[in-house]
């Protein structure tokens, strides 16, 4: 294992986006690091306002920053709000990165997404595949913003010598995920569909597309652990892929989710809906060489995500929200969901993560 180059012990660590799925997992993981954790709600700090961000950073003087705040969503949300996805993500990440530079932050990690890679990149996708082809049109707005963010970190390293690094996680899932069917990603959408079909005694559920695209998944607690590992052991220009190194077809995933949830009906496919990228598997050799590997298996992770759904530990966008309401993970525009899921019996075999 590489020798640690940066210690978080005794440091003031700011987690931007602490109410989102990734940010909350990083907060949970930081508890054992002996550091002071800094957070701010959107009511306290709007990351889209440069003056507010610079004033907050100057006042609080964090030593390290995890930039996990972002406007996120699935295919439908990206298609409906392209300007919001591009603008909000561009502006908030530029504000945080620049303010961190001005405040002399020792180290910053920018969290991106595997959607930054070309639609038809060679598989598994290596870090050098960036900007070698066209993006997947269904999420290009988010992808362009994330590419700009990691390049901005590189630019500050090159021009100013800032120790700013970037991590590119694969598809994440787990506690604090967004389970709204109009804006969620595939894993929480499948869990919710299967659960509601089970309790409503439906005979089938329907998934978008052909079911043939393959996706890689990583539990968010594994992602948080990998992020802290990189923060302590990595300092270089290139971004680092963060994933499990394994993928699964969407139809196969739907069957696995149904098994975990207890839904015994049929799974229909709707080929009139888009599939998205045919395959998206990350090459994680660089991360493995730094001494990190995931600990949570896919079936175990799905069961944990389902338990968090049953416990009401998730976020949900209102289906009636306007584009101006759907802001980044740093805020409280999500609402705690209160659905029939809360009345379902718990999964006794899944450990419960305490809320940070």
**Token couple for 335:** 């609402």
**Token couple for 85:** 């996805």
Helix (H, G, I), strand (E, B) or coil at 134: coil
Q: Please check whether residue 12 is in contact with residue 38, taking contact to mean a CB–CB distance below 8 angstroms.
A: yes
CB-based burial label for 342 (10 Å; 0-12, 13-18, 19+): exposed
**Token couple for 141:** 């707005």
Q: Which residue has the tokens 């963060």?
A: 242
Please state, as a whole number, how many other Cβ atoms lie within 10 Å of the Cβ of residue 128: 10
Helix (H, G, I), strand (E, B) or coil at 222: helix
Q: Is 306 an annotated catalytic residue?
A: no
The H or E element containing residue 310 is helix 298-310
Helix (H, G, I), strand (E, B) or coil at 248: strand
Among 13, 7, 6, which Cα is nearest to 62's?
13
Q: Please check whether residue 80 is in contact with residue 319, taking contact to mean a CB–CB distance below 8 angstroms.
A: no
What is the distance between the alpha carbons of residues 22 and 20, in angstroms, rounded to a whole number? 6
**Helix-helix angle 186-199:298-310, to 10 degrees:** 60
Q: Is the peptide bond before 124 cis (omega within 30 degrees of 0)?
A: yes
The H or E element containing residue 169 is strand 164-169
Rg over alpha carbons for the chain, rounded to the nearest Å, is 19
Q: Please check whether residue 96 is in contact with residue 58, taking contact to mean a CB–CB distance below 8 angstroms.
A: no
Among 332, 252, 278, which Cα is nearest to 43's?
332
Phi-psi region of 176 (alpha: psi -120 to 50; beta: other; left: phi over 0): left
Which residue of the set 14, 81, 117, 142 is catalytic?
142
What is the distance between the alpha carbons of residues 175 and 10, in angstroms, rounded to a whole number? 27
The catalytic site residues sit at 142
């Amino acid at each position: 294992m590489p020798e640690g180059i940066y210690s978080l012990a005794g440091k003031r660590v700011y987690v931007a986006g602490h109410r989102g799925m990734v940010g909350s997992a990083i907060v949970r993981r930081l508890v054992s690091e002996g550091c002071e954790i800094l957070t701010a709600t959107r009511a306290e700090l709007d990351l889209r306002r440069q003056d507010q961000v610079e004033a907050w950073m100057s006042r609080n003087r964090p030593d390290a920053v995890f930039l996990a705040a972002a406007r996120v969503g699935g295919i439908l949300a990206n298609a409906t709000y392209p300007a919001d996805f591009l603008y909000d993500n561009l502006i908030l990440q530029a504000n945080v990165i620049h303010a961190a530079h001005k405040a002399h932050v020792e180290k910053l990690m920018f969290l991106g997404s595997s959607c930054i890679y070309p639609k038809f990149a060679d598989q598994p996708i290596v870090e050098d595949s960036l900007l070698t082809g066209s993006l997947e049109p269904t999420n290009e707005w988010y992808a362009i913003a994330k590419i700009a963010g990691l390049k901005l970190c590189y630019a500050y390293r090159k021009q100013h010598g800032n120790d700013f690094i970037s991590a590119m996680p694969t598809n994440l899932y787990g506690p604090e995920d967004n389970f709204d069917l109009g804006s969620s990603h595939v894993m929480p959408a499948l869990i919710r569909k299967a659960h509601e079909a089970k309790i409503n005694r439906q005979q089938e559920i329907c998934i978008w597309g052909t079911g043939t695209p393959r996706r890689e998944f990583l539990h968010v607690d594994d992602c948080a652990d990998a992020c802290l590992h990189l923060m302590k052991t990595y300092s270089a220009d290139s971004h680092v892929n963060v994933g499990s190194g394994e993928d699964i077809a969407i139809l196969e995933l739907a069957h696995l989710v149904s098994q975990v949830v207890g839904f015994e009906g049929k799974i229909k496919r709707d080929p009139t809906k888009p599939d998205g990228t045919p395959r998206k598997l990350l090459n994680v050799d660089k991360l493995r060489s730094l001494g990190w590997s995931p600990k949570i298996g896919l079936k175990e992770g799905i069961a944990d995500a389902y338990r968090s759904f049953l416990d009401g530990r998730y976020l949900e966008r209102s289906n009636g929200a306007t584009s101006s309401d759907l802001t980044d993970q740093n805020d409280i525009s999500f609402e705690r969901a209160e659905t029939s899921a809360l009345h379902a019996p718990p999964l006794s075999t899944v450990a419960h993560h305490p809320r940070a």
